[in-house]
Structure 1
Amino acid sequence: MNSFKRILIALDLSATDQQLLQVARQAIDLFQPEKLYFTHIVPDLNFPTHVEVEFHRLFAPETPVDEKVKERLTKTVQSALGRPPGVEIEIDVIEGKPYTKLMHWLEVKHIDLLVLGKKVHSQGSGITARRVAAQAECAVLFVPEQTPASLREALVPVDFSENSGRALQTALAFRKALPDLGVTALHITELIPAGYTYNYREYDNFNQFLVEAAEQSFDDFLPEYANQPETVKTAVYQNDRGNLADRLAELAQELKADWIVLGARGHTALERFFFGSVTEKLVEGPLPVPVLIVR
């Protein structure tokens, strides 16, 4: 089970920040962090020297930009969160290449969880959901522009690996703050190619066998990772769309998930697709729910 004691929320001064602050309030209850870092990265514009001198002569305010931004963020954060007991809050405004600085800051601050808006990447920033998901050593929570106001249902895609078990434990730990939280463990079976069987009956029988095998696998999987396995709902669906990412996004909406909690690596199709279409669809696509990637 993951422990998120040091959380960094990346703010970009856009409308998405309000969603991130909403999630920050939830994070205090869910994770009981010791420290929250609210960080904004001012892009390094890399002007030629003579242009930079002229720019500052004409436009530079008496108060440095980073100080003004920090003052603004401080007011915004205090208005949204107040002073939560037992949680230290630090607000940082740093300058540089956004992606490089973000990765460096995660290491310097020993961050356990990064909270990032899906729209945090601006033109040329280099911060993309897919890139961060692949490179960040910590857990990452991607927050869409319109996120559910409450967390009532958590969906955990599983392939019965240790990593997906860790994701399930993370979702179940939310119940300390949300006792009525519904948790669904979802497994998606891949259809075998039609040419691998002699006839349609054999094809259907084999695919049904995969579904039944997955259902039986839950009997061993749940007791290993859940203290009360009977409180975890299970669902097994076939990937009848061909694209695992599309099917997962479709089922998340069908099952009315408010959050998706996803293990970073598995050993089946989920692993093969994770740093490709699954990440792109779930954390950069239109799915309107937060996606938590745990490691």
Structure 2
Amino acid sequence: MKAICATDLSAASEATIENETCLECLGRIGVAEIHLVTVIPSNVHAGMPGIDFEERREQALARYKRVIENAGFDAEAHVVRGTPHRRINGIADTIGAGLTVVGSRGKSPLENRVIGSTARNLARTTVTPLLVNRIEREVDEPDVVREHLFQRMLYATDFSENADRAFAAFSYLRHATQEATLVHVETPTDPGLPEEDEDPKARLEELASQLEDWAIETRTAVRQGDPAAEILAAEAEYEPTTILLGSRGHSRLRRLLLGSVSEDIVARADGNVMLVPPDRMA
């Protein structure tokens, strides 16, 4: 599998790239080739006072590339100009990437603003599964918050087609997953949703049995209330390393489980978040 690793060359983006455990987790799920992508906004120029982009960029990318290659991956670097999330998606599409990784914190107001708001933009537009790697906030030398990326997963579902697609990611995540919590949030009836005859608890148990066949210790939970709030409450209760969900759900009319809720989770979760987009061919 090929993966995109987006970096703005900040200390926060270094935390993802230089964390040995994070790299090991990527290797365990089948990533063999990592493409570093740094995007220079169109309104930033190399000649701006106090900014030596060329030298800093070359030094940082060379260091990152060595770290990745020393960890056993093939590595390539891409330096492009434009809107970060659009260029990241474009490169991911061009190389046939199976995963995009981006940090969730950035402090580079004049540099490549890949990390921060771009994570939220990618949550809406990503063309590959997106892993938002949570970085410590408000510290001078930040580290990743939860380095065992896929060890304990919290999977949130509304039983939509895209949620099923997100669950299918366990086919490769299972090689790094030890525990999983499967959560469904019941909300007031939405006219855009089909009637379901099957009890959600039974549907979760059916999914759980598939994971247990892979020796993943699994629990299920049906919660009631606001989807984003309940998913975050489940994160606080179960302390997963990563929340897994689809980026779209049943309804475009309301804030149900998936859709705008996925953006809220990316912005507010304490740990990592993995979003799986719909099949573009569907």
TM-score w.r.t. the length of structure 1 is 0.72
Q: 1:217 aligns with which of 196, 200, 203?
A: 203
Q: Displacement of 1:12 after TM fit? A: 0.8
In 2, Cα distance between equivalents of 1:177 and 1:91: 26
Residue number in structure 1 paired with 2:276: 294
Aligned length: 255
DSSP-derived class of the 1:93 partner = strand
- Taking a change above 3 Å as real, the CA distance of residues 162 and 123 of structure 1, as seen in their structure-2 partners, is same
| C-alpha contact 1:169 1:226 (8 A) present in aligned 2 | no
The sequence identity of aligned pairs, in percent, is 20
Question: Residue by residue, what CA displacement relative to the aligned partner does 1:124-178 show, whole Å, maximum 9, x if unpaired?
Answer: 9595333212212111111221321324311001223343233234246333245
Residue number in structure 2 paired with 1:145: 135
Structure 1, unmatched stretches of 5+, are: 194-209
Structure 2, unmatched stretches of 5+, are: 137-144, 191-195, 278-282
- Taking a change above 3 Å as real, the CA distance of residues 99 and 253 of structure 1, as seen in their structure-2 partners, is same
Question: Residue by residue, what CA displacement relative to the aligned partner does 1:5-37 show, whole Å, maximum 9, x if unpaired?
Answer: 110001112221133223751443332223101
1:83 and 2:83 equivalent? no
In 2, Cα distance between equivalents of 1:218 and 1:166: 15
| C-alpha contact 1:260 1:291 (8 A) present in aligned 2 | yes
- Taking a change above 3 Å as real, the CA distance of residues 214 and 109 of structure 1, as seen in their structure-2 partners, is same
DSSP-derived class of the 1:176 partner = coil
Q: Displacement of 1:96 after TM fit? A: 3.0
Bigger helix fraction: 1
Residue number in structure 2 paired with 1:155: 154
How big is the alpha-carbon RMSD for the aligned residues of Structure 1 and Structure 2?
A: 3.5
In 1, Cα distance between equivalents of 2:215 and 2:200: 16
Residue number in structure 2 paired with 1:198: none
DSSP-derived class of the 1:155 partner = strand
In 2, Cα distance between equivalents of 1:237 and 1:60: 50
The residue type paired with residue 185 of structure 1 is L
Residue number in structure 2 paired with 1:92: 78
1:110 and 2:96 equivalent? yes
Q: How does 1:36-185 map to 2 (within 5 A)?
A: 36-45=34-43, 55=47, 65-66=53-54, 68-79=56-67, 81-85=68-72, 87-120=73-106, 123=109, 127-146=117-136, 147-151=145-149, 152-171=151-170, 173-178=172-177, 181-185=178-182
Which structure has the larger Rg?
1
Question: Residue by residue, what CA displacement relative to the aligned partner does 1:72-115 show, whole Å, maximum 9, x if unpaired?
Answer: 22214424x45233x31112222333333223222222222111
